Homo-oligomer: A and B are copies of this chain.
Amino acid sequence: MASVRVESEVTRIMMGVNESSIKGYPHASISSKSAFEWTLNKIIRSNTSGFKLFFLHVQVPDEDGFDEVDSIYASPEDFRNANRKDKINGSHLLEYFVNRCHDIGVACEAWVKKGDPKEVICHEVKRVKPDLLVVGNRGLGPFQRVFVGTVSEFCVKHCECPVVTIKRSAEETPRDPVDD
C-alpha cells in the first residue's frame, strides 16, 4: 500500500556560476552550464514546481583593487561607472540562467557578489540555507589543480549544506583544460 507523503516546501538548490574564461562576459563557463543542465535534467526533471534555483555569481576584484586594468580613472565618477559596468557584465551572465529557468518554469533568484568566490559562496550558503549546492568543476588533474586551486573542493569541505560537484564532459574540455 502506498504511504502518503506530504510535499513540503520546494527544494532550494544554489548554484555558483561564473563567466567563460575564453569568451568572457556575458558567456557562462562550460562547467557552469554543465552543472546547470545536469541539475535540470537529472534532478528537477519534469517536477518544475518542486524546486527553486538560486544563482550566485562572484566577481573577483583585481589584486590592486581596480576593476579593469585597461581603464583610466580620473574622477570618482569613473569608478562609479566602472562599477556599474562590472555589474552589467555580471548580471548579463545571470540573465542566461534566469531566462532558461523562466522558459522552463522553474522559480529562481540570481545575484552578484564581489570577493573570493569560495569564501563568498560558503558565506551565502550560510545566509540562504539551500538544501543543496551545485558547483561546476573543470575536472583538472592534480598537477593542474596545484596552480589554479578549485572552488568546488573548498565548498565540499567548508559549506554548511550538501554539495555536489559536476565535471565537464571530456568532449567539452577546451585544448587548455584550465580554460573554461
If A162-B165, A164-B162, A164-B164 touch, whether A103 touches B42 (CB-CB below 8 Å) is no
A38 within 8 A of B: yes
| A162 proximity list for chain B (CB < 8 A) | 38, 164-167
| A47 proximity list for chain B (CB < 8 A) | 45-47, 50
Kindly supply a per-residue 1/0 record for chain A positions 90-123, scoring 1 wherever the CB is within 8 Å of any chain B CB and 0 otherwise. Answer: 0000000000000111000000000000000000
Kindly supply a per-residue 1/0 record for chain A positions 150-165, scoring 1 wherever the CB is within 8 Å of any chain B CB and 0 otherwise. Answer: 0000001000001111
A75 within 8 A of B: no
| A71 proximity list for chain B (CB < 8 A) | none
Complex: A156 Cα to B152 Cα, angstroms: 11
Kindly supply a per-residue 1/0 record for chain A positions 1-22, scoring 1 wherever the CB is within 8 Å of any chain B CB and 0 otherwise. Answer: 1110101100100000000000
Chain A: residues with Cβ within 8 Å of the partner, total of 28
Within 8 A of B (CB), among A14-60: 38, 40-43, 45-47, 50
| A1 proximity list for chain B (CB < 8 A) | 103
Q: Which residue of B lies closest to A165 (CB)?
A: B162
Interface set of A (CB-CB < 8 Å, partner B): 1-3, 5, 7-8, 11, 38, 40-43, 45-47, 50, 103-105, 131-132, 156, 162-167
28 contacts across the A-B interface (CB closer than 8 A): A1-B103, A2-B103, A2-B104, A3-B103, A3-B104, A5-B40, A5-B46, A5-B104, A7-B45, A7-B46, A8-B41, A11-B43, A11-B45, A38-B162, A42-B131, A43-B43, A43-B132, A45-B47, A45-B50, A46-B47, A46-B50, A47-B47, A132-B164, A156-B156, A156-B165, A162-B166, A163-B164, A163-B165
